[in-house]
Amino acid sequence: MSKMMEPALAGRTAVVTGGARGLGYAMAEALAHDGADVVLLDRLENVADSARRLAEKTGVRTLGLVMDVTDEQSVGAAFDTIERELRPADVLVNSAGMTLGSPLLETSTADWDRLFGVNVTGTFLTSRIFAARYLAAREEESGGEATIVNVSSMSAFAVNIPQTQAAYNTSKAAVSMFTASAAIEWLPLGIRVNAIAPGYFASDMTRDFVAENPEMAATWVSKIPAGRMGEPHELGDLVVYLASERSAYVVGQSFRIDGGYTVV
């Protein structure tokens, strides 16, 4: 088999936060199909069930752990378990996130802090601990490059309406800048960082919202040049590309995948 025909992530261990369901699980499935062993981390108690389902579907080794991205001890304990039961991780997808749709004048400091705790601090904490563990493992065993794929949003680049979500938009802009900054700082250490910035995707949560708010959903779709929302599986190839050595010259970028929403 030629190198280009081999699974892009064979021999790698990928960690996906927020991986129990939705877009996180879809990205984890893509990583597994391209050969990576996959660890799902989530606050949801059913994360272990999701990991078992992924193993049955793809044949790779999986692990599902309950973890809180805002809790440094929780993150550290999860990586201890990963190293004990699998091996040190060399791919990280920071998919854990939350939304907050409220006007600024009605946004409390507590809600603002909670949102930034998950979307920004969670991305920072998990990335920092992942990077430190990777570097420690590399000192003991010579290894290849590590990669991080953060999940930003098209909302980092455009104020998508009619919903009011300034806090969410600002948090995702922070994720994109963190991506660029970490990429430059960590590239000499062998850790390459990029991000994806999805637009409207028909995840489980979005489908529930659409069912309850059909008029707003119609407004969203009317503003998407592609004429539809994305499907979760359409994130997979981009995430695999960014996680693999096939994107070795791609550094610090946030790739918008939004059906053209932010172009017009």
The CATH number covering residue 130 comes to 3.40.50.720
Q: What is the pLDDT of residue 209?
A: 79
List beta partners, residue 13.
37
Phi, psi for 13 (deg, rounded to 5):
-120, 115
* 94-105: burial string, b at 16+ Cβ within 10 Å, e else: bbbbebbebeee
Report yes or no on 264 lying in a domain.
no
Structure confidence by residue, pLDDT tens digits, 144-172: 899 999 999 999 999 998 889 999 999 99
Domain that holds residue 197: 13-202+233-255
Q: Tell me the average pLDDT across 114-126.
A: 98
With a cut of 90, say whether residue 205 has pLDDT above it.
Answer: no
How many CB atoms neighbour CB 16 within 10 A? 32
- Judge whether 241 counts as a catalytic residue: no
What angle, 0 to 180 degrees and rounded to 10, lies between the N-to-C axes of helices 122-140 and 72-85?
40
Q: Which residues contact 109 (CB under 8 A, 6 or more apart)?
A: none
Any domain includes 89: yes
Query: Average pLDDT of 96-111?
Result: 95
Q: In this model, does residue 64 exceed pLDDT 80?
A: yes
Whole-angstrom distance, CA of residue 19 vs CA of residue 78:
14
Question: Does residue 173 lie within any of the structural domains?
Answer: yes
How far is the C-alpha of 108 from the C-alpha of 102, rounded, in Å? 9
More confident residue, 58 or 217: 58
Assigned domain for 220 exists: no
Neighbours of 52 (CB within 10 A): 14
| Number of other CB atoms surrounding residue 109 within 10 Å | 7
What is the three-class DSSP state of 259?
coil
In this predicted structure, what is the pLDDT of residue 143?
65
What are the φ and ψ backbone dihedral angles of 131, each rounded to 5 degrees? -65, -45
Asked whether residue 216 is assigned to any structural domain, the reply reads no
Could you tell me if residue 5 is inside a domain?
no
Residue 262 within a domain? no
In a domain, 104, yes or no: yes
- Looking at the structure of the chain, the number of domains it has is 1
* pTM beyond 0.75, yes or no: yes
Task: Give the residue-averaged pLDDT of 88-100.
Answer: 96
Strand order of the β-sheet with 37-42 is 62-66, 37-42, 13-17, 91-94, 146-151, 191-198, 254-257
Mean pLDDT in residue range 250-254: 98
Which of these ranges, 29-33, 137-141, 143-147, 198-202, has the smallest mean pLDDT? 137-141
Identify the sign of the CA torsion 238, 244, 248, 250: positive
Q: Which of 25, 168, 200, 261 is catalytic?
A: 168
